[in-house]
């Protein structure tokens, strides 16, 4: 489009007219490749569904970087593209908000219409980052978590998911997920319960029958802090590949710092974790700071902190009623020293497309606690 063509506008006129006439791939095709190019003079990355545009721009000095993701050719969520003629060298912006699209045109941006579509099934997330050190080409979009983490480590700000492409979504391929007939991810639901019960205090209380251990977000800030920590540096359930460090089965965005000894966790990632557990998240994220995390304004710094403990889970009696799923969970707590403890829970979760687990907790009641005598190293 305009800033991309302008370095060689005369030679590109016909191609530009073709592209403007057909900005999206024909709807008969289910998906389309989304191409990425880089302008070494302005630092801008350009994204396009047009093979003509992608093929021409390298002759104008742009660097072709291949297919960045795959987009549906039609959905309920268009992605609009705009051009800023006042930025040196030109600049583009992309948005799924028609309101933002119209507002930017009102202040001088040139609307270029629908460039592609976001996947309504919310498959592969395209992460949005902002460079606070430049006045142009300040935004970057990528489906590559390693690239995202590297930019965060360099000082870019993480702004969350911009839109979605077709492909791997909240859960990554390469893991042994148990998916039921309705498409519900039972493994992810088990991981959610493991994460939550790993830190619930008082599982060895004398009163063990029908104890409601469900909290609300922010009710116990220290507990929520532990949830964020544990989803980044996952060492509490090493027998579960999807909850083992350094695997990132849930596609969380964070940066490894200081030779991987410390991490930076963006605010949006922390918000995503808490919302995935409870279905919502408090606006004040600074309260989740203390033993494991240090809040620094736009996220948290955290270090590695291992403990000699492990958690394992067995589930049964799965039942589905609409968007509600209930099951029994038996969680084993062990520290390698004392006798292990087994706690039984009755769990209810709600299907939730916004949750990294595909659901969030609505109820969790501890029904029984027992000790596995002789399972530890310590003898009375």
What residues does each domain of the chain span?
2-165, 177-380
Sheet holding 124-130, edge to edge: 139-142, 124-130, 157-165
Query: DSSP 3-state assignment of 169?
Result: coil
Residues 6+ apart with CB under 8 A from 269: 158, 228, 232, 252, 253, 254, 299
Q: Between the CA of residue 164 and those of 108, 116, 172, 235, 271, what are the distances in Å?
A: 28, 11, 14, 30, 19
User: To which residue do tokens 């909850």 refer?
Assistant: 243
pLDDT of 18 strictly over 90: no
pLDDT of 13 strictly over 60: no
pLDDT of 6 strictly over 50: no
**Average pLDDT, stretch 313-332?**
95
Query: For the residues of 1-64, what is the DSSP string, one character each?
Result: -HHHHGGGHHHHHHHHHHHHH--S--TTSSEEEEEEEE-TTT--EEEES-HHHHHHGGGGTPEE
Q: What is the pLDDT of residue 135?
A: 74
* Cβ pair 87, 98 in contact under 8 A: no
pLDDT of 24 strictly over 70: no
Q: What is the pLDDT of residue 209?
A: 64
* Cβ pair 268, 159 in contact under 8 A: yes
Closest CA to 294 of 269, 323, 265: 265
Q: What is the pLDDT of residue 171?
A: 45
Helices (H), the chain: 2-5, 9-21, 51-56, 98-106, 145-153, 186-199, 221-232, 267-278
Q: What is the pLDDT of residue 156?
A: 92
pLDDT of 151 strictly over 80: yes
Predicted confidence (pLDDT) per residue in 230-289, tens digit: 999 888 787 788 988 888 889 899 998 876 678 999 999 999 999 999 999 999 999 999
Q: What is the pLDDT of residue 253?
A: 92
Lowest mean pLDDT among 26-30, 35-39, 93-97, 348-352: 26-30
46 — pLDDT class (breaks 50, 70, 90): very high
* First vs last C-alpha separation in the chain: 77
Q: What is the pLDDT of residue 14?
A: 38
pLDDT of 294 strictly over 60: yes
Token pair, residue 331, equals 């969680």
Alpha carbons 239 and 249: distance in angstroms, whole number: 14
Higher pLDDT, residue 169 or 210: 210
Closest CA to 144 of 253, 64, 234, 259: 253
**Average pLDDT, stretch 87-114?**
94
pLDDT of 370 strictly over 50: yes
* Cβ pair 187, 299 in contact under 8 A: no
Q: What is the pLDDT of residue 58?
A: 95
**Average pLDDT, stretch 61-74?**
94
pLDDT of 8 strictly over 70: no
**Average pLDDT, stretch 196-218?**
74
Query: For the residues of 262-308, what is the DSSP string, one character each?
Result: EEEEEHHHHHHHHHHHHS---S--TTS-SSSEEE-SSEEEEE----S
pLDDT of 20 strictly over 50: no
Alpha carbons 360 and 261: distance in angstroms, whole number: 31
Beta bridge partners of 130: 139, 157
pLDDT of 133 strictly over 50: yes
Predicted confidence (pLDDT) per residue in 162-193, tens digit: 999 997 544 455 677 888 888 899 999 999 99
Q: What is the pLDDT of residue 211?
A: 82
Closest CA to 246 of 259, 235, 257: 235
50 — pLDDT class (breaks 50, 70, 90): very high
* Cβ pair 165, 150 in contact under 8 A: no
* Cβ pair 56, 72 in contact under 8 A: no
Alpha carbons 280 and 58: distance in angstroms, whole number: 45
Predicted confidence (pLDDT) per residue in 74-86, tens digit: 999 999 999 999 8
* Cβ pair 289, 229 in contact under 8 A: no
121-135, 203-217, 294-308 — which one is most confidently predicted on average?
A: 121-135
DSSP class of 251: -
């Amino acid at each position: 489009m305009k800033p991309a063509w302008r370095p060689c506008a005369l030679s590109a006129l016909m191609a530009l007219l073709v592209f403007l006439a057909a900005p999206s791939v024909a709807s008969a095709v289910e998906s389309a490749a989304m191409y990425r190019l880089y302008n070494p003079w302005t630092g801008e990355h350009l994204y396009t569904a047009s093979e003509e545009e992608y093929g021409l721009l390298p002759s104008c000095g742009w660097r072709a970087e291949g297919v960045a993701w795959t987009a549906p050719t039609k959905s309920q969520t268009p992605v609009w593209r705009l051009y800023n003629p006042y930025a040196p060298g030109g600049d583009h912006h992309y948005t799924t908000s028609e309101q933002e699209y119209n507002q930017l045109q009102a202040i001088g941006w040139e609307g270029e219409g629908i460039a592609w579509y976001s996947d309504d099934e919310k498959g592969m997330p395209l992460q949005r980052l902002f460079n606070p050190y430049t006045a142009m080409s300040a935004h970057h979009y990528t489906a590559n978590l390693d690239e995202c983490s590297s930019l965060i480590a360099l000082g870019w700000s993480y702004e969350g998911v911009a839109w979605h492409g077709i492909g791997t979504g909240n859960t990554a391929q390469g893991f042994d997920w148990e998916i039921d007939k309705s498409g519900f991810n039972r493994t992810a639901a088990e991981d959610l319960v493991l994460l939550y019960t790993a830190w619930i205090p008082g599982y060895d209380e004398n009163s063990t029958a029908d104890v409601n251990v469900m909290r609300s977000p922010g009710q116990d800030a220290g507990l929520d802090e532990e949830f964020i920590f544990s989803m980044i540096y996952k060492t509490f359930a090493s027998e579960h590949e999807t909850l083992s460090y350094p695997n990132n089965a849930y596609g969380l965005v964070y940066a490894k710092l200081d030779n991987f000894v410390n991490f930076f966790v963006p605010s949006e990632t922390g918000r995503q974790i808490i919302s995935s557990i409870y279905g919502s998240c408090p606006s004040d994220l600074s309260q989740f700071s203390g033993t494991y995390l240090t809040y620094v304004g736009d996220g948290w710094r955290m270090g590695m902190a291992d403990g000699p403990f492990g958690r394992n889970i067995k589930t049964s009696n799965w039942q589905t009623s609409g968007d509600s799923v209930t099951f029994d969970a038996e969680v084993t707590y062990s520290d390698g020293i004392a006798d292990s403890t087994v706690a039984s829970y009755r769990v209810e979760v709600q299907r939730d497309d916004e949750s990294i687990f595909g659901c969030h907790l609505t109820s969790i009641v501890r029904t029984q606690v027992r000790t596995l005598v002789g399972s530890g190293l310590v003898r009375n």
